[in-house]
Amino acid sequence: MSRVCDLSGKKALAGNNVSHSNRKTKRRFYPNLHEKRFFIPETAEWITLKVSASTIRTINKIGITEALNRVFKKGTI
């Protein structure tokens, strides 16, 4: 299961753990993803998407239909 947001395309970033002695070891920063169901009133159906928390806020603001239109128009929200 990939850790990528279906709408915004957010994915894991790489970075370092830095200890008190300043040693660096690799780590990953994962996006805050949630599986969420959305109702599309135009087609009267439910869809399940894996979206980040910030994308859920955007969907609440502009609506799921507009969010999907923006993704299909230019690739991400």
pLDDT-based confidence at residue 1 (cuts at 50, 70, 90):
low
On whether the CB atoms of residues 2 and 50 are closer than 8 A, the answer is no
Q: Domain of 39: which CATH number? A: 2.30.170.40
Query: What's the CA gap between 72 and 74, in Å, rounded?
Result: 6
- Is the residue at 2 inside a domain? no
Quick check: 75 pLDDT over 90? no
Q: Please calculate the CA angle 71-47-57 and round it to the nearest 5 degrees.
A: 55
- Is the residue at 64 inside a domain? yes
Range of the domain at 25: 13-74
- Is the residue at 20 inside a domain? yes
Report, as an integer, the average pLDDT of 52-72.
Answer: 95
Q: What domain count does the chain have?
A: 1
Report, as an integer, the average pLDDT of 22-34.
Answer: 97
Token pair listed for 6? 């279906």
pLDDT-based confidence at residue 74 (cuts at 50, 70, 90):
confident
Taking the model in full, what pTM does it have? 0.84
pLDDT at 45: 96
User: What average pLDDT does the structure give for the chain?
Assistant: 94
- Is the residue at 8 inside a domain? no
